[in-house]
Amino acid sequence: MIVSRAWRGKRFAVLGLARSGAATVRALVAGGASVLGWDDNQAAREKLWEQLKADREAEGTEPGFTSKDWVSFPTDLTRFDAVILSPGVPLNTHPIAAKARDAGVPIIGDIELFAQARGELPSHKVVGITGTNGKSTTTALIHHILETAGIPARLGGNIGLPILGQEPLPEGGVYVLELSSYQIDLTQSLDCEVAVLLNITPDHLDRYDGFDAYAASKARLFAMQSTGHAAIIGIGDEASQGVAKQVARSGRAEDVTKIAPGICMDQSRWPALQGPHNAQNALAAIAACEALGVDQASIDRGLESFPGLPHRMERVATRNGVLFVNDSKATNAESTAPALAAYPRVHWILGGKAKTADLDACRSGFPHIVRAYTIGEATEMFAEILKGEMPVERSGTLAEAVRAAAANAVAGETVLLSPACASFDQFRDYEDRGDQFRAAVEALA
């Protein structure tokens, strides 16, 4: 795991003991800190305690850790050096945030702890990727290209394993971090050698005081950079254009590479990177890898061999000439629109727990749609929106939509699950929804 001597003798309060919280506690304790952890899941608390005991067994010492449930977190935080939150804890509403501010105690996350530990790691570089849509694909693509080039790399942040729980890279390695706005909010000193912003569209506004505040959160990734470090910014939306101008005006114009939308590219050799949005993701990854000094031949090989990510325009199967694509990660209209543009004749499965009451962002893809199949809470609302635009079936459930779409589709067409909605009305999460789509396809006669 990644640790820092700077934590020795300090006291930290950690809220949330799931994956990233547990990895954070283990790293802090290994670094000699004392930790109080909160979680309302007793099993999570007990599991972490056993892990900590196993970590310290070889030294014959007890870990400096105690735990409490949510209800019993202390009102006085002044004895702590920092409060560490899971990115899922809302800074704007959770009472611990106000208590920490009142006590003058910094509120940070595991990415900030990683930033603090960097000085003790072998010489390395960090790539940070943010944006409303496309983060995971671009992060995984950069990581894949680096590995293809033989460069040691770690994938972390909002994707893969918690970064503090991973082993440090050897000299010359690259840490590739997907960073949500929540993680950036909890970070003060992450100076990325390469920082990437793909786009900014309205999302997560329940956590921010309006869209401008959300955009400003993304922009902080560049504010933490040193002059001379690469800033790669998509300029397909007004907010991202504003960030690019802001970085340039700060005296870093030579650091900025702008990625324009709509550039025609030959994507025929990149089976997992179809559609205009993946063209932009690929351009951002190419620019990031070029900034890291990766040779063009390795970049080309990486683009061609990239397998894609589950639930992101994932090619599930081809049956009787019909392609079935799982794009369950598309939880808003903006992220669904590129998938609709990627295929010429689409049977579109959409719906779930709607984030907005319109599909305007998808309108440019409507000419590609043969028939739509609405599911979940949004079944009726989306059916009414699409009425008159295209044939619509009110399927209600995902399994029924798959059966109906398979029955209607002909060779050369695509059955696309790209819901433009959250999944929590009928599924555990978007991954569960995508897994059930795959199972429904496999169950077809």
Convert the pLDDT of each residue in 88-123 to its tens digit: 888 888 888 889 999 999 999 999 999 999 999 999
The sheet with strand 34-38 has its strands ordered as 65-68, 34-38, 11-15, 82-85, 107-108
For residue 306, the model assigns a pLDDT of 95
Write the pLDDT tens digit of every residue in 373-391. Answer: 999 999 999 999 999 999 9
Cα–Cα dist 55/67, whole Å:
17
Q: Which residues contact 69 (CB under 8 A, 6 or more apart)?
A: 38, 39, 40, 42, 45
Mean pLDDT of the chain: 94
Q: Which residues contact 349 (CB under 8 A, 6 or more apart)?
A: 372, 373, 375, 395, 398, 401, 402, 405, 415, 416, 417, 418, 419, 437
In 3D, which of 243, 273, 327 has the Cα closest to residue 137? 273
| Cβ–Cβ < 8 Å for 154, 124 | no
307 pLDDT higher than 70? yes
Please, what is the end-to-end C-alpha distance for the chain in angstroms? 48
- Hey, which bits of 95-180 come out as E strands? 107-108, 124-130, 153-157, 173-178
Residue 164 token pair: 């503090």
Q: Which residues contact 195 (CB under 8 A, 6 or more apart)?
A: 127, 128, 130, 221, 222, 225, 229, 230, 231, 232
262 pLDDT higher than 70? no
Q: Average of pLDDT values for 245-268?
A: 90
pTM score, whole prediction = 0.86
Grade residue 394 by pLDDT with cuts at 50, 70 and 90: very high
Q: Average of pLDDT values for 12-26?
A: 94
Cα–Cα dist 416/338, whole Å:
12
For residue 264, the model assigns a pLDDT of 67
Which one has a higher pLDDT value, 375 or 65?
Answer: 375
Q: Average of pLDDT values for 300-313?
A: 94
For residue 404, the model assigns a pLDDT of 98
Cα–Cα dist 188/190, whole Å:
6
Q: Which residues contact 243 (CB under 8 A, 6 or more apart)?
A: 197, 200, 215, 218, 219, 222, 233
Cα–Cα dist 79/170, whole Å:
36
Q: Residue 345 burial by CB count (10 A; 0-12/13-18/19+): exposed, middle or buried? A: middle
Write the pLDDT tens digit of every residue in 359-372. Answer: 999 999 999 999 99
Give, for 135, the enclosing helix (H) or strand (E).
Answer: helix 135-148
Domains of the chain: 5-108 (3.40.50.720), 118-305 (3.40.1190.10), 314-442 (3.90.190.20)
For residue 207, the model assigns a pLDDT of 87
Residue 357 token pair: 């009451």
Residue 411 token pair: 């060779």
Cα–Cα dist 342/243, whole Å:
28
Write the pLDDT tens digit of every residue in 123-171. Answer: 999 999 999 988 999 999 999 999 999 999 999 999 989 999 999 999 9
Grade residue 407 by pLDDT with cuts at 50, 70 and 90: very high
For residue 57, the model assigns a pLDDT of 81
Give, for 92, the enclosing helix (H) or strand (E).
Answer: none
| Cβ–Cβ < 8 Å for 376, 352 | yes
Place of tokens 């202390």: 74
Grade residue 334 by pLDDT with cuts at 50, 70 and 90: confident
Cα–Cα dist 28/7, whole Å:
7
For residue 61, the model assigns a pLDDT of 76
Which one has a higher pLDDT value, 334 or 10?
Answer: 10
Q: Average of pLDDT values for 402-427?
A: 98
Cα–Cα dist 302/348, whole Å:
30
Burial 266-283 (b: 16+ CB within 10 A, else e): ebeebebbbbbbbbbbbb
Grade residue 187 by pLDDT with cuts at 50, 70 and 90: very high
Q: Average of pLDDT values for 328-332?
A: 93
Q: Residue 321 burial by CB count (10 A; 0-12/13-18/19+): exposed, middle or buried? A: exposed
Left (φ > 0), alpha (ψ -120 to 50) or beta: where does 9 sit?
A: left
Which one has a higher pLDDT value, 160 or 224?
Answer: 224
Grade residue 240 by pLDDT with cuts at 50, 70 and 90: very high
CA geometry: angle 157, 145, 115, nearest 5 deg? 30
**Which of 49-58, 186-195, 260-269, 391-400 comes out lowest in average pLDDT?**
260-269
| Cβ–Cβ < 8 Å for 67, 61 | no
What are the Cα distances from residue 380, in Å, to 274, 299, 398? 31, 46, 15
71 pLDDT higher than 80? no
Grade residue 263 by pLDDT with cuts at 50, 70 and 90: low
CB atoms closer than 10 angstroms to residue 313: 24
For residue 89, the model assigns a pLDDT of 82
Q: Give rounded-to-5 percent helix, strand, coil for the chain.
A: 45, 20, 40
